[in-house]
Structure 1
């Protein structure tokens, strides 16, 4: 950029373009690369619809991706990681893959997400032990709002999925809401109790969000864990975890798998050797393709 800020070069993507490099000057942006037009022209890319749902003191942003056509489509509720990540107006290959496969995708930024101010970001701190955490309320409201606004979304064929915090939420939502006919839980936290001793951030991350620790209040730490209510899960669930995940170690997925198996829930466990927490984004191309294939096969079987 120029020292006076009057011009700069930047990279940007949109929901239906993986990205280009742009020159900005005098209030105008001009693309200086054409890296992805061939790709964009060769596939069907979807631009989402956006709406908001209110809560006391704020609102939740929601996006809905729908494939071409007029027929009803199965619904996939996606929950991002973090929880301080966010969905937005950039390109996200996963949603395009799912819409191309014939699904309607619902995504939102519940309380706990970044991008909407400090209060929104910290809106889940100290709440995961409660019976009605605000993020569960927000995600439920986002799904309900999408189903009301977009009649093509099939209310009888709803799946849910997410990774990391999204995996944590997938397990919590399926324990609390019987609408889901299919679930994919990836690299999630399912027991804060064991996470404290096994994760590379286990000594501080749960303390910050739970506002207590395993030593101070083991009962509260356990109550905030999806495993504490996993016996209520009846949704067929695919659990995906990487063997070299140090952020949410694979023992987390193994514990959830064991509980679901013991309760007779239809469940599968897909392990990726040699991969870490970022496998879905930075893993080997072979494993990333296999992951997509497994997700689509699992949802396709149950939806």
Structure 2
């Protein structure tokens, strides 16, 4: 198992998260309590709880360091994610009943994302993203969120910020996939009025939400509809939903394509003949996978991607254990499985003009994965371009140097403008 975020509840008592790895590396931890004078530990969160110790709603415009868990007056304040909302929760021992069945209470009320936070003597403050707004500082008082700052109000006042439109798509057996569509302002309601970009998140165990996302707002401002969702593999709906070990490119691909079809039906102003696809990390893997399995996209932008699971196994900073876990095999136990789930295996079927974006200090998804796919597409005569970012890492789109982030967006927009 895996231990994380230990916090003292007294001189001799420690609370911590523990994952039993029942669903592999991505298994959500539960809360436990232990006495330093005894080897025994007790689980203190029972029943249905959000994904505690996880604030995974994505944005490329967030502020503040992640905080795991804080003790306040004998209780625990910690982040958690349910569906597409990352908020703050309080775990506390009950006044009545078994002492080791702690209650978990949702503290925040707004839907969005909570990043850094602090708590002392019952007072809780946090940096949060609410709606399509950028981060601000909030305080919780009497169960109500009070915004303390207005640093970023100018963005809504001076820029066109498009409200995301929610869409839920049934996938059978009581399961659904949720997501959103950004429709550019001023677009006529006539069918096929604007091109669309399908944006796929990384992780895969993260989640899109309703918070501000700079890159997507930028594309919408350029006249592109943006389509994005949380397929199987995503966080927020339980470990079984998130478990795609050994199934990369299968059920997750089907979910994304089903959501795309539903979005095109719901919003006929999006031109189904002018679609692009992009994503980074796992989203880069899925972009590579899609262009080898469908010709529906007229352009693609693959970012910090995986194209060859065997190469990823031997180069990534997490490769040898993450690949084993997510492939449910090793390169030696099932080499054919590694090949089956590697987009490089299908490069000879690609016809989609593709831009590759990689950073040479990215030790998570090494630049060689992008180069392999780029070279294969060039070999097979597919229009391709490789944008090499010197000195940047896996976080280019979120915390890269400002000039590099601007250059990245210009590369993507130029590519889609050319082919869409």
Counterpart secondary structure, 2:292? helix
Matches within 5 A, 1:199-278: 199-278=316-395
How much has 1:19 moved relative to structure 2?
A: 1.7
Question: Equivalent residue for 1:22?
Answer: 138
Q: Distance in 1 between matches of 2:350 and 2:209?
A: 30
How much has 1:7 moved relative to structure 2?
A: 4.4
Question: Bigger CA drift: 193-202 or 133-142?
Answer: 193-202
The structure showing larger relative contact order (alpha-carbon pairs under 8 Å, at least 6 residues apart) is 1
Q: Do residues 38 (structure 1) and 154 (structure 2) align?
A: yes
Counterpart secondary structure, 2:209? coil
Residues 53-80 of structure 1, C-alpha deviations (whole Å, 9 max, x = no match): 1223411111001111232111000000
- Supply the RMSD in Å over aligned alpha carbons: 1.4
Task: List runs of 5+ in structure 2 lacking aligned partners.
Answer: 1-69, 76-89, 91-121
CA contact (8 A) 1:236 1:266 kept: yes
CA contact (8 A) 2:132 2:210 kept: no
Which ranges of 4 or more aligned residues in structure 1 deviate by more than 4 Å?
4-7
Q: Distance in 2 between matches of 1:127 and 1:182?
A: 25
Matches within 5 A, 1:52-201: 52-57=168-173, 58-71=175-188, 72-122=193-243, 124-128=244-248, 133-201=250-318
CA contact (8 A) 1:15 1:48 kept: no
Rg (Cα) greater in structure:
2
CA contact (8 A) 2:160 2:221 kept: yes
CA contact (8 A) 2:196 2:226 kept: yes
Equivalent residues, number: 299
CA contact (8 A) 1:168 1:226 kept: yes
Q: Distance in 2 between matches of 1:15 and 1:98?
A: 18
Bigger strand share: 2
Q: Distance in 2 between matches of 1:210 and 1:173?
A: 18
Q: Do residues 283 (structure 1) and 403 (structure 2) align?
A: no
How much has 1:47 moved relative to structure 2?
A: 0.9
Q: Distance in 2 between matches of 1:115 and 1:34?
A: 29
Bigger helix share: 1
Q: Distance in 1 between matches of 2:349 and 2:287?
A: 13
How much has 1:27 moved relative to structure 2?
A: 2.5
How much has 1:96 moved relative to structure 2?
A: 0.8
- With the length of structure 1 as denominator, give the TM-score of the two structures: 0.95
Counterpart secondary structure, 1:239? strand
